[in-house]
Each structure stands twice: as C-alpha cells, then as structure tokens.
Structure 1
Amino acid sequence: MATTSFHQAIWTIPSCGSLNSSFGNQENGHASLKLISKGFRLDFAIQTYSSKKQSFCVMQASGSQTSVFNPILSPSNGTPSDSKKKSNEAALILIRHGESMWNEKNLFTGCVDVPLTKKGVDEAIEAGKRISNIPVDMIYTSSLIRAQMTAMLAMNEHRRKKVPIILHDENEQARAWSQIFSEDTKKQCIPVVAAWQLNERMYGELQGLNKQETAERYGKEQVHEWRRSYDVPPPNGESLEMCAERAVAYFRENIEPQLLLGKNVMIAAHGNSLRSIIMYLDKLTSQEVISLELSTGIPMLYIFKEGGFIRRGSPVAPTEASVYAYTKAHKRILSNRDAINLSLD
C-alpha cells in the first residue's frame, strides 16, 4: 500500500550560498526541487533566510507513490521516533455499528454481511453528532457493510466535512485505479482502512438462527455459555478469546502506531471485536470482559497519552455541549453537565 509523508526540518548552517547559487536569491528566497524515481516522487521546498549574524534554511519535503495517500505505519515500515512518542496525544473513538437487519430479527449474525435498518441508520447519524467536534485523521472499520455504513454516516455529521474514502490495496490495479490526483482534494479526505480482523466473531453453525429458538432447542444455559463465556466457542465458530487474539493483534500492530504518531483514530466495528479491544485498553480480566455490554451506535472516547489510554466515556451530543475537549491542540471548554456525562462510563 502506498504511503504519503510530510516532514519539516530546520538547520542552522554557516551559509546557504551553495543553495543560493543554484536557486537564485542571495538573501531571503525560496526554491523547489522534485526527484522522481520508479514511481516515487520527492518534492523539496527550500526557504533561505539571512541576517548579519547567521543564515539558515527551512526545508520541507513530501514524498508520494502512485496511489491514494495512506498514512498507515505498518511493522515493516518501522516504528515512530522517540521524540514523537513523548510529545503526542491523540483521540481514539470506538463505535459499535447501528442496528442491523438481523439484529432486528433477533438472528445470530456473526460474519454474515448484513446492512443497517432505518433505526441503525439513525443510530449511526446520532453517533456522528456526538463525535462531530472530535478531530478524526484515520478511520478503521471491519470488512462488513454494517460497520462501514456506520462510519460513513457518522462522518457525514462531522463539522469538518472531510470525505471518508476507503483505501483499496487488493492488488496493483486496485491501487492504481483509486488514485486521487488533486492535492487539495486529498487534504479534504480521511483514509478508511477496512480490515477483516475487526469483524464480529464468527458464530459458526449459529449464524442465521433465531436466538430465542436456539435457546429453546439447546437450552438457555448452553446458548448463554456460547454467547457470553470467554473461551467456549459455538459449534465450528470462534470464542471471544479467539476473536480477541486477532482483533487486539491488529490493533497493536496497525492502529496503536497511528496513535503514537498523534493521529486521531475512529474504529467502527462490532460488539465482540470492540469488547476485545476494550479489554486490552482497560486491562480487563477474562471474567470482567464477559459482562461488558456495548450498545449499538453509542461512541466511546479514549485519550491516548504517554503510552496509556484514558477512558472518557461517551461524548455528549452537540445540543448538550459547546466544545468538547479532546487533545492538547484543541480548547477545553466543559460545562458542569459535560463533566457529569463524562463520568458515566
């Protein structure tokens, strides 16, 4: 998957004469340079400043490949620098998808790809209103349509009105065909990464069965054990423990590095994949997590700071708050009512 990066650095040097002789201005000036090699372009913008005491240069560099931008840091790309780790604070938003058509019918859904109901659409829109003031730089969803619909509908309510765009890296042609050629347009987009590791847990032979009828057939205790135990899977399905292994591993390897870089991240996923991630964030035991219930369409906010996660509960709706505080880069204005809502985890 192609990446785009931006870096700025300032060097103080005895003289910028060698640069000035190449690019023109002997005092204050600027120049640009492009390097292109094997589909990778590196753009430099160099600004020179001179005074009686010293000269220095400000260099800006940006690089891109032939694809939609993708600021994802994977293990193969390395890890963030220590300086970035120490200085950054970021928001993490978790949203369970709105009601699906099989939720409405009381069917076991699991990994069956079912869309939202009208109620589910309304829940996603309401979730969007609750997070409308929280900055979002990256979105992760499962590969299932109900989670993706929730993310898209929620972002339609965001005050910044940036467009969420799903990144496609299935093959070289998918990457090439999904390119964006306007830099201005790219700045108004939010990359969306769909990952099967964030899918709902696979319910095996229960998928498509009515929950009430299944309880009558196998007994309430047996069905309750399949649904709420930590390490007992349904027939030919996944236990919560198995779901947690893939969901948490993906979070640690792909999403947490973005938070370390100061990126504000939203995850739209499912009851069990999000329970797994919350278990990791809140350091819950296997006994504590099985009693954790997540409502559809209700966002949860965490602040990632100094390598740890601080739970902030569910953000209040715009009608209940003027400006919500999320990171150091944004003003913190909380009313007494906001403070009460924040404590209701």
Structure 2
Amino acid sequence: MDSTTHTLVLVRHGQSEDNERELFSGLRDPALTARGVNEARAAGRRLKTLGYRFDHAFTSRLQRAQHTLALILEELSQTDLPVHADAALNDRDYGALAGLNKTEARARFGVKQVRSWRKSSDAVPPGGESLAMTAARLWPFFERAIAPRVRSGKCVLVVAHGNSLRSLLMRLDHVAPADIEDVNIGTAEMLIYRSNADDQTLVRAAAIACSS
C-alpha cells in the first residue's frame, strides 16, 4: 500500500495569534502568526516530499485551520481540491476560559484545576466542553464523512485543532481517559493513519513534527 491510498493524514493548524500569546482559544477565531504560516508551508512541503496526493480535504469552520489547509494545498499544487469545512471539527468550546491568558487562569483558578480543564477527558470548563463532549460531537461526523473515504481507498487530509484531534485520538489510538492528559499535538504536527487491510481499522503509521 502506497501513500496515495487508504490513508488518513491529521494535521494541527500552525501557530495562531492566541498560541503566541498563551491564550485559551476554543471557538475564538485568531489568525495564524508568521511562524504559523511557515509551519503550515513546511507541513505541505514535507507531504509533497513524501509523495502525498489527496482525494479529499476536511477542516473546521475556524480560520486558523482553514488557512493552514490552504497553505498545505498550495505547497502540494492541489489548490483546486474541494474542501469540506464543518463545525464538527472545530476546537473544543473553552467557555469562560476563552481569551484568558493561561498564566492568569492558573493564578485565578489554581494550577491543578486549569490542567484538568485543559488536558483531562471529563473536566468541563465553565460554560464550555470537556474533551469527551468534543469527541461525542466529532466522532459521528468522522465515522459518517471521513472514515468511509479512507476505507474505500482514498487519501484524506484533515486539518483541525489540538483538542479536536486529541478527542479523535482517544478512539483511533484507544487512549484511556486517564492517559489522554499526557497526549500533546504540536502546531503543524502530522499524524498519519492507514486502513488495515484485514478489518479496515485505522492504524497509526507515523507522527511528523513540523513546528519550528
């Protein structure tokens, strides 16, 4: 099986203005920084070097993911590829934390509480979503719209967010809720999955860091 069939590539967006300022983003819509643009282009160049050509592309409704995807497709000379943008792939809703500086949030709520809100599976930020809640609204879309295309032999690119991708990994990589706190996806990091020929399970093939 080559890199043009039965393949799923997950990519986190490049560095955003909120990432640079250490702010909780969630459903906020910051732009990419200059570094984020460079990271996205580097990811596209790496995929081109590895021989990837995509049949389908998916992203969220937020500009940091959409811009990252556009830059990757530009590097791949696939700017004419149809893009499916869906809110199911949006970052988790951070509720009252959105827009807060992470250091300020730790001072206000405590280090352990903020880590739990950020990293755990079940903790719900005030007015927001837990990671488990994010998975509950993302996974049905993934199973309906994305996974069947991979299993049918297509090469599919998904550009989304650290938390929405972490929520996918709980299912794809069978990460226990107690262990998801230790899972981190860097900006522009790529996770590559292949469809198992026997039972069509998606299996992790590689992880490639493209952040600077």
Q: How far does residue 260 in structure 1 lie from its aligned partner after superposition?
A: 2.3
The Cα of 1:191 is off from its aligned counterpart by 1.2
Q: CA offsets per residue over residues 51-94 of structure 1, 9 Å max, x none?
A: xxxxxxxxxxxxxxxxxxxxxxxxxxxxxxxxxxxxx9511101
58, 67, 73: which is aligned to 1:149? 67
**What is residue 124 of structure 1 aligned with on the other side?**
40
Q: Which amino acid aligns with 2:146?
A: I
Structure 1 Cα separation of the partners of residues 175 and 102 of structure 2: 27
Normalised by the size of structure 2, how large is the TM-score?
Answer: 0.91
Whether the aligned pair in 2 keeps the contact of 1:131 and 1:299 (CA below 8 Å) is: no
Counterpart CA distance in 2 for 1:201 and 1:316 is 22
Q: Within 5 A, what are the aligned runs for 1:168-207?
A: 189-207=80-98
- How many residue pairs align between the two structures? 203
Equivalent position to 2:205, from 291, 294, 312: 312
**Deviation sequence 1:226-273 (CA, Å, 0-9, x none):** 111211110010000000111111101110111122111000000111
TM-score by length of 1: 0.57
> Where do residues 70-219 of structure 1 align in structure 2 (5 Å cutoff)?
89-132=5-48, 133-158=51-76, 161-163=77-79, 189-219=80-110
2:75 equivalent to 1:222: no
> Comparing both chains, which one has the higher relative contact order based on Cα–Cα distances under 8 Å and sequence gaps of 6 or more?
2
Q: Percent identity?
A: 40
> Which residue, 137, 154, 176 being the options, matches 1:285?
176
Map residues 6-45 of structure 1 onto 2, 5 A cutoff: none
Query: Which protein has the bigger strand share?
Result: 1
Where structure 2 has 5 or more consecutive residues not aligned to the other structure, the ranges are none
Letter in 2 for 1:228: K
- The code of the aligned residue for 1:314 comes to A
Partner-residue secondary structure (3-state), 1:290: helix
Q: How does 1:289-308 map to 2 (within 5 A)?
A: 289-306=180-197, 307-308=200-201
Task: Give the C-alpha shift of residue 122 in structure 1.
Answer: 0.4
Structure 1 alignment gaps of length 5 or more: 1-87, 164-188, 318-345
Aligned: 1:253 with 2:144: yes
> 1:3 — aligned with what?
none
Greater helix percent: which structure?
2
The amino acid across from 1:224 in the alignment is: R
Cα RMSD (Å) of the superposition?
1.6
Q: Secondary structure at the match of 1:190?
A: coil
**Inter-partner Cα distance in structure 2 for 1:281 and 1:224:** 23
Q: Which is higher, the Rg of structure 1 or of structure 2?
A: 1
| Residue in 2 that maps onto 1:78 | none
SS at structure 1 position matched to 2:82: strand
